[in-house]
């Protein structure tokens, strides 16, 4: 510069060149044990792409990686007519996984919320704009130490005062991540949870290894058009636009702070570096991006980048530099909510929900129209220049806050050199001889990585978009044991996407490379449950967490990356086109003069993604009780080695072990994957579950829980003597258990033999209808108890966490529901023919009747609503409230309206109340809706947020004086579940001919409890005959019991209509489950229509 830099330049440089942003360790030169290495870590990851780039459309150059998808009929509104329609086009698949560890340790709710929000922005800012679709999340923390459930392996070692305890992280952070996903409208359908904190031997004594600095994982999958995969060139003069919320003094220095060991920086920096989230704003921004990409080749966006670490000080330079341009910016054009901020604070803060875009001057007016319609704030900050130079003018101080070459800021820095050595593994062998099997089972069932994770799952909306095929919950009893998450490509498709997670970090304390290989193996045995054409269709995101600089850890990291990038992935034919690293996984503090530290093991989290040939063929762990005999087979990829190092059993006895399981033979593994896919293709597999945490014991009992049945388990095929029982049951070697029909036994084993897998395949169990799980050896029972008993043990951790976090009464009711051994589970009892398309006669009768798919800012369930009505024969139109209020759109032309689900105005005024008030207090809007409601040829449906909104419009909707107000759920928590409802006799046009039907439906809301005005009650509403839906137990009885009634509404009430039946409101979501594949459980996977499709067809029939 040849001058002193400004504070703005210094702070910008610090963020842009932090380890977090520049990944210096992964690009470093390495010398290990005195021998120079010829490859960097990143070059070894890239090696996977050099070995197999087939189907990879974008790697290492954007916010996400992109792989080939399918040619599908994609559904979205026409930009000119606003009518929803199908467009046949190539729809490709993007993926990304991030971590947000440091902020989550400091302030769990906002830390995890902005972690999810930032990753969602990465997806939307891929290429020239794309669509986030489904998410995943994960957590690794130290021991929970729950007050009423302290475990024998848990000990209090202390923690730094500035970070939150593991227990509080897991009470708050998952809510933060779920809340952001919920409000944005992205289903979070995959995850993991690990606790680990253990004192281990070292060459100099001992140390504590664990996750005082937690891992908070956020990732997901999305879609984009083929013409938008790569970012466009940015011409000189292109306008550089900031889309999103205002600058605020939050998240300052986050990029640098997250690159340091927890506790080694100043406390003020730690707290200043945590951001805050506003998902409703991010939703508005995404709607703008959606309108742009839906224009196809007329997309005004040339390039887009999300604003993350370093704020716009990092995002804006990267946007133009990547295109070979520079820029001139005006600081005072940055929208700012804190006018006392200095130029450095305005430029470098990490306020969330912002994107930077390059747009040609000729498209600015079009872009501005889109932003105004979506009520998304934007500002033109400057323009691109030919020279790669950055200037930031400050009109207030009449100076240049920044004036530097981008080569100085973002050019290649000198490569870091790492000179490191290996540390010898000196852990003791884990001896299982004196372990009591009953005690072992009880401990394993309480270890969080094994135990029920319902408390992490039911808080997250897993049905929004109407494109979720398989989420965490499995079967009629909704047990969270799914191996992979699956989505469908579109509303007319059976193709889709799958994702899964693998991580085996405790093994790294024995063998770094083996832990990485096992993480890959686990991710693949999980995703094998989806119908995937070939192994090489799968790609990985690799997220590496390491305590860089800790003795032995750098060399171990190199070993792990080398085995992944140079050996295992090339041998399997799998590419790693995307990933992330976090190199500061250590907490240090001083406790009364004593220096303490807790260091995480090397933690590779592998997220697997793939295109799916047929989503209807997704396998689950639910054991099937059918009209013929079946058997369960163990496929043991460990070949009987039963290595116990790093296992859950070792952990619950306070040990590590010296010999770890491993992925020993990639050729055998490829045969295993091919075999599962082919047997699935032949319909030979009834149930599938991988072997992982907790070993074969956990695999089998989880399959039993999902199938609500007992198992007779015979160990003779895998044990020679009693001393082998514990290792055989609790080793965590790779493998899986499949259920087959006995009538298929010969054909299945013939194929297994053909694949050379016969020696590692064993008959292990038979399902039984009695409520008992029994383990036998040599005709002698070695462990037995009721399925109910084991299930309660497995669910106790979740219950205790739920009790601490939510309404304890509701937590107790859900926990006690496990005691009902005879629970029939979800079931379907309908009084009509599901396959009878009663709207078919009207399809070719000329112009389709029109329906306005109403949305307000923050609404996120409109597309699936439009798809349901379109399938029933309607012309569905995208109608934003701004169209009515600001542009005078008339409702006169519409036959119906559908008010959709979501979080209008972020529900800050109460659920749906802000939306209702925007109508009631606006003369033009109120007049439009009053006229619509009083016409006798119109109808309306309000679902979830739309239900809450319409209930607040009762004064202008005729015949609705009995409608309640909807308030916070009795559980005091957002509830996302699949529950049973009954259709009651009512005049509702939507439920004609459906009376008496009882069937499952998706619910997802935080304020669904019906509260009546003074002088009215649920009973009077029911007596009026205008209650159309109520929650029922799985036995079909009206219920107020949680979780079958997820919000506590009296008499189970959840749907009502007005007196003439034209207007119906309901909290559940029929628009998300109108296809069979959209249901978390369905009796016939191959059927196309689900029962709830009748609702929408009834509306079409009513029109004529």
Residues identified as active-site:
944, 1069, 1071
Q: Find the length of the chain.
A: 1104
Measured between alpha carbons, how far is 658 from 248 in angstroms, rounded to an integer? 51
Measured between alpha carbons, how far is 692 from 474 in angstroms, rounded to an integer? 18
Exposed, middle or buried, 1 (CB in 10 Å: 0-12/13-18/19+)?
exposed
Lookup: tokens for 705: 């829980």
Number of H helices, E strands in the chain: 32, 46
The closest of 46, 124, 7 to 575, measured between CA atoms, is 46
Coil/strand/helix, residue 379: strand
Measured between alpha carbons, how far is 304 from 229 in angstroms, rounded to an integer? 12
Position of tokens 């770094």?
Answer: 512
Please answer whether residues 200 and 597 qualify as being in contact, where contact means their C-beta atoms are separated by less than 8 angstroms. Answer: no
The Cβ of residue 760 has, within 10 Å, a number of other Cβ atoms equal to 17
Given CA atoms 727, 732, 736, 741 in this order, what sign does their dihedral have?
positive
Which residues, in sequence order, are bridge partners of residue 631?
740
Measured between alpha carbons, how far is 980 from 984 in angstroms, rounded to an integer? 13
The Cβ of residue 446 has, within 10 Å, a number of other Cβ atoms equal to 20
DSSP 953: T
Beta strand 131-141 pairing with 215-225:
antiparallel
The closest of 871, 1060, 1090 to 978, measured between CA atoms, is 1090
975 sits in the region (left: phi over 0; alpha: psi -120 to 50; else beta) called: beta
DSSP 870: H
The distance in angstroms from the start CA to the end CA of the chain is 76
Measured between alpha carbons, how far is 1104 from 531 in angstroms, rounded to an integer? 42
Lookup: tokens for 1095: 């609702």
Those residues whose C-beta lies under 8 Å from the C-beta of residue 780, and which sit 6 or more positions away, are none
Which residues, in sequence order, are bridge partners of residue 71?
90
Please answer whether residues 900 and 865 qualify as being in contact, where contact means their C-beta atoms are separated by less than 8 angstroms. Answer: yes
The closest of 649, 210, 641 to 450, measured between CA atoms, is 649
The Cβ of residue 687 has, within 10 Å, a number of other Cβ atoms equal to 23
Those residues whose C-beta lies under 8 Å from the C-beta of residue 479, and which sit 6 or more positions away, are 473, 622, 702, 705, 706
Lookup: tokens for 107: 């302030």
Measured between alpha carbons, how far is 179 from 173 in angstroms, rounded to an integer? 10
Beta strand 84-99 pairing with 710-714:
unpaired
The closest of 434, 585, 468, 503 to 105, measured between CA atoms, is 585
Lookup: tokens for 573: 């034919």
Please answer whether residues 598 and 157 qualify as being in contact, where contact means their C-beta atoms are separated by less than 8 angstroms. Answer: yes
Which residues, in sequence order, are bridge partners of residue 1089?
1075
Measured between alpha carbons, how far is 990 from 1007 in angstroms, rounded to an integer? 23
The closest of 947, 1045, 949 to 1001, measured between CA atoms, is 1045
DSSP 1061: S
Measured between alpha carbons, how far is 561 from 1089 in angstroms, rounded to an integer? 47
> How far is C-alpha 986 from the geometric centre of its chain's CA atoms?
38
């Amino acid at each position: 510069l040849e001058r002193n830099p400004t504070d703005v330049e210094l702070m910008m440089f610090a963020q842009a060149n932090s380890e977090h942003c520049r990944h210096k360790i992964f690009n470093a030169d390495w010398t290990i044990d005195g021998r120079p290495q010829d490859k960097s870590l990143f070059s070894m990851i890239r090696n996977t792409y050099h070995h197999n780039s087939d189907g990879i459309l974008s790697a290492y150059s954007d916010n996400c990686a992109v792989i080939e998808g399918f040619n599908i009929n994609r559904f979205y509104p026409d930009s000119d007519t606003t009518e929803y329609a199908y467009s046949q086009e190539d729809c490709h698949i993007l993926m990304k996984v991030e971590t947000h560890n440091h902020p989550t340790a400091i302030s769990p709710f906002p830390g995890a919320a902005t972690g999810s929000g930032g990753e969602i922005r990465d997806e939307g800012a891929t290429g020239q704009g794309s669509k986030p679709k489904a998410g995943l999340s994960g957590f690794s923390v130290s021991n929970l130490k729950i007050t009423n459930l302290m475990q024998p392996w848990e000990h209090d070692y202390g923690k730094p005062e500035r970070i939150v305890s593991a227990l509080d992280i897991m009470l708050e952070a998952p809510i933060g991540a779920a809340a952001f996903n919920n409000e944005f409208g992205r289903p979070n359908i995959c995850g993991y949870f690990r606790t680990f904190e253990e004192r281990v031997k070292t060459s100099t004594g001992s140390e504590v290894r664990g996750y005082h600095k937690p891992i908070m994982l956020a990732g997901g999958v999305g879609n984009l058009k083929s013409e938008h995969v790569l970012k466009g060139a940015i011409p000189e003069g292109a306008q550089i636009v900031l889309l999103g919320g205002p600058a605020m003094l939050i998240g300052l220095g986050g990029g640098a702070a997250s690159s340091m060991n927890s506790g080694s920086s100043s406390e003020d920096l730690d707290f200043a570096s945590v951001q805050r989230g506003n998902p409703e704003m991010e939703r508005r921004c995404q709607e703008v991006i959606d309108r742009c990409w839906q224009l196809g080749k007329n997309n005004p966006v040339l390039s887009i980048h999300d604003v993350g670490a370093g704020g716009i000080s990092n995002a804006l330079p990267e946007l133009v530099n990547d295109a070979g341009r520079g820029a001139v910016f005006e600081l005072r054009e940055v929208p700012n909510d804190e006018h006392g901020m200095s130029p450095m604070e305005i430029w470098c803060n990490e306020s969330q929900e912002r994107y930077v875009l390059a747009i040609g001057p000729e498209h600015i007016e079009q872009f501005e129209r889109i932003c105004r319609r979506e009520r998304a704030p934007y500002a033109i900050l400057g323009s691109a220049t030919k020279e790669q130079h950055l200037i930031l003018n400050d009109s207030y101080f009449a100076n240049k806050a920044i004036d530097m070459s981008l080569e100085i800021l973002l050019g290649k820095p000198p490569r870091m050199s790492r000179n490191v050595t290996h540390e010898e593994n000196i852990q003791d062998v884990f001896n299982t001889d004196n372990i009591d099997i009953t005690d072992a089972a009880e401990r394993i069932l309480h270890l969080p990585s094994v135990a029920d994770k319902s408390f992490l799952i039911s808080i997250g909306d897993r049905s929004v978009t109407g494109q979720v095929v398989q989420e965490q919950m499995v079967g009629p009893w909704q047990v969270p044991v799914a191996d992979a998450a699956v989505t469908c490509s579109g509303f007319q498709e059976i193709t889709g996407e799958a994702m899964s997670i693998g991580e085996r970090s405790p093994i790294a304390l024995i063998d770094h490379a083996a832990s990485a290989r096992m993480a890959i193996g686990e991710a693949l045995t999980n995703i094998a449950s989806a119908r995937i054409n070939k192994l090489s269709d799968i790609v990985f995101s690799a997220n590496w967490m390491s305590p860089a600089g800790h003795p032995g850890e750098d060399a171990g990291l190199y070993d792990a990356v080398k085995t992944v990038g140079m050996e295992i992935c090339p041998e399997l034919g799998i590419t790693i086109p995307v990933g992330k690293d976090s190199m500061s996984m250590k907490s240090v503090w001083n406790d009364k003069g004593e220096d303490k530290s807790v260091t995480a093991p090397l933690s590779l989290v592998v997220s697997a993604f793939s295109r799916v040939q047929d989503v209807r063929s997704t396998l689950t762990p639910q054991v099937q009780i059918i009209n013929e005999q079946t058997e369960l087979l163990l496929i043991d990829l460990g070949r009987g080695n039963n290595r116990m190092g790093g296992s859950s059993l070792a952990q619950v006895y306070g040990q590590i072990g010296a010999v770890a399981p491993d992925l020993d033979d990639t050729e055998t593994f490829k045969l295993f994957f091919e075999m599962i896919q082919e047997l699935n293709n032949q319909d030979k597999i009834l149930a599938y579950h991988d072997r992982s945490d907790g070993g074969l014991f956990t695999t089998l009992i989880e399959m039993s829980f999902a199938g609500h049945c007992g198992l007779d388990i015979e160990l003779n095929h895998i044990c020679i003597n009693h001393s082998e029982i514990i290792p055989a049951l609790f080793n965590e070697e790779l493998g899986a258990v499949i259920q087959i029909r006995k009538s298929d036994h010969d054909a299945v084993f013939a194929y297994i033999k053909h694949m050379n897998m016969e020696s590692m395949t064993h008959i292990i169990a038979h399902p039984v209808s009695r409520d008992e799980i029994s383990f036998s050896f040599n005709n002698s029972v070695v462990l037995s108890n009721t399925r109910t008993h084991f299930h309660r043990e497995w669910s106790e951790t979740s219950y205790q966490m739920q009790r601490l976090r939510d309404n304890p009464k509701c937590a107790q009711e859900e926990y006690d529901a496990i005691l009902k051994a005879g629970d029939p589970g979800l079931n379907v009892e309908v009084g009509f023919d599901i396959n009878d398309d009663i709207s078919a006669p009207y399809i070719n009768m000329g112009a389709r009747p029109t329906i306005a798919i109403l949305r307000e800012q923050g609404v996120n369930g409109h597309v699936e609503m439009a798809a349901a009505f379109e399938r029933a024969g309607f012309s569905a139109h995208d109608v934003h409230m701004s169209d009515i209020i600001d542009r005078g759109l008339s409702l006169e032309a519409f036959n119906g309206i559908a008010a959709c689900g979501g979080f209008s105005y972020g529900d800050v005024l109460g659920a749906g109340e802000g939306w209702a008030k925007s109508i009631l207090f606006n003369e033009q809007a109120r007049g439009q809706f009053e006229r619509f409601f009083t016409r006798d040829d119109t109808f309306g449906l309000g679902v979830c947020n739309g239900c809450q909104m319409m209930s607040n419009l009762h004064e202008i909707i005729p015949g609705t004086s009995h409608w309640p107000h909807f308030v916070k759920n009795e559980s005091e928590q957002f509830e996302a579940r699949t529950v049973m409802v009954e259709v009651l006799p009512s005049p509702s046009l939507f439920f004609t001919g459906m009376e008496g039907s009882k069937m499952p439906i998706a619910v997802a809301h935080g304020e669904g409890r019906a509260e009546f005005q003074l002088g009215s009650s649920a009973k009077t509403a029911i007596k009026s005959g205008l209650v159309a839906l109520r929650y029922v137990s799985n036995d079909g009885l009206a219920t107020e019991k949680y979780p079958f009634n997820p919000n506590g509404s009296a008499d189970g009430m959840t749907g009502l209509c007005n007196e003439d039946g034209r207007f119906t409101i309901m909290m559940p979501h029929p628009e998300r489950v109108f296809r069979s594949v959209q249901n978390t459980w369905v009796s016939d996977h191959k059927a196309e229509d689900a029962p709830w499709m009748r609702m929408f067809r009834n509306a079409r029939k009513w029109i004529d």
